[in-house]
Structure 1
Amino acid sequence: MVNQKTLADYCHQYLTVDKFDDYCPNGLQIQGKSDIKKIISGVSANQALIDRAIDEAADALFVHHGFFWKNEPPTLTGIKKNRIKALLDNNINLFAYHLPLDAHPTIGNNAQLATRFDIKNPTPIGDTLVWQGEINTTLANFSNTVKQALSRTPLVFGNDEKTLKRIAWCSGGAQTYIQHAININADCFLTGEVSEQIPAIALENNITFISAGHHATERYGVQALCQHLAQEFNLDHHFIDIDNSV
């Protein structure tokens, strides 16, 4: 068991939250009970995940996508009111970590993808959120590795027989970051989503592109964080995957 403030302070330091200028507040977003023993993790704080956390009598819910995003309406109405009311009524803490959970060098989404895709020498590209690493396989073989690792068929743009040696990637909706991959002469850029203009940009820059799923590429950071917290503070932890095809 751990005190809520102790847990929040630990995560703040462990994830170096102060380094990031984010689109939302990182940390404890909704305050619940003071003592925490059981934690649930998931990608996004939607009603389905909150309901599951309630069913499992969670003390805290950890997510990558929480509430209070920049430029969203500040009013507590509609589904936002319903979600927050459910947490408050059940005294469940909501912790949300966005960019700090993408960038962390070991438990972050990008680091976790490197492990699952067997990418060698993974490292960030400068001070960006995009990572680079080494593989030695064809686009077809690597796409199959991604499919098996994420249990989801990716969208693939490029020649299946092209040999990939340097790869760049960024979890989530980072398709507009493709220029970072082009700048380092990567053979492939992988992210979660694709936009209309991206296939042509990739083709004209002789780089292959994989859209592996926003949700699918961001399942693993929050799991790894909560597994770490469970070991550090002797907590019960359960990851709940609310399926999302995007």
Structure 2
Amino acid sequence: MTRIVDLTPAVPEGFKGPPSTNIGVHFEVRTKVGEGARGERPYWQSGQVTMSLHTGCHVESALHCFEGGEAIDQVALERVIGSAVVLDLTPVEERMLIDVPLLERAVERLRAHGEELRPGDILLLRSDWAQRAIGTPRYFPRSPALTEAAAHWLVAKQPKSIGCDFFEEPAAREQGWTADQFVVHRTILGAGIPLIEGLVNLAQLPPRCQFFAPFYHFAGIDSAPARAFALIPEEQP
């Protein structure tokens, strides 16, 4: 028996996206209530949403940082579905820089549970920051982030994708950043590794699990919303 763990935050009205876009989630809903022949009131609703594609849980492709790069519809689902390992980085403080030694300590934690990193794994980086702040104005500017060296370390492990429950780019936490300062994104996406951002509930996962991040099949754009989840063995009574 297996259990589904939902790794995607709910996105209500007003949920905050990246500060660079200055867009919060806004819903517009149209409804109609009719009068039926027997006194019933048939109901109809149709909604639309305005938001950045980098809001909540989403998958990013190389086009996010490279002109002419791989668009999100060119990312096969197999690259965001499969066996995943959780690198437990906790405890992690606000605005902390996650460096190579911290990643290596997380690997030692993994080994203590009898697991190893393998090429082709999906790497899930757990900080628990999203549990505290995703969707609020604090999430992006106060988030922990990866160093450039940490990004290169991750790429060297040859994962097929990388997921985070924090905003991993340190430069974008500050005002006035430029695209060339996106060193973490450029390192990971430039290596052909999709990024899965905005995850939650990673604390509920074992060291290894089956992970899924199916995303909306937008064409010719850099990102798409995802509904990430994991399958884990159900505890027996």
TM-score (norm 1): 0.26
TM-score (norm 2): 0.27
Which has the larger helix fraction? 1
Bigger relative contact order (CA 8 A; separation at least 6): 2
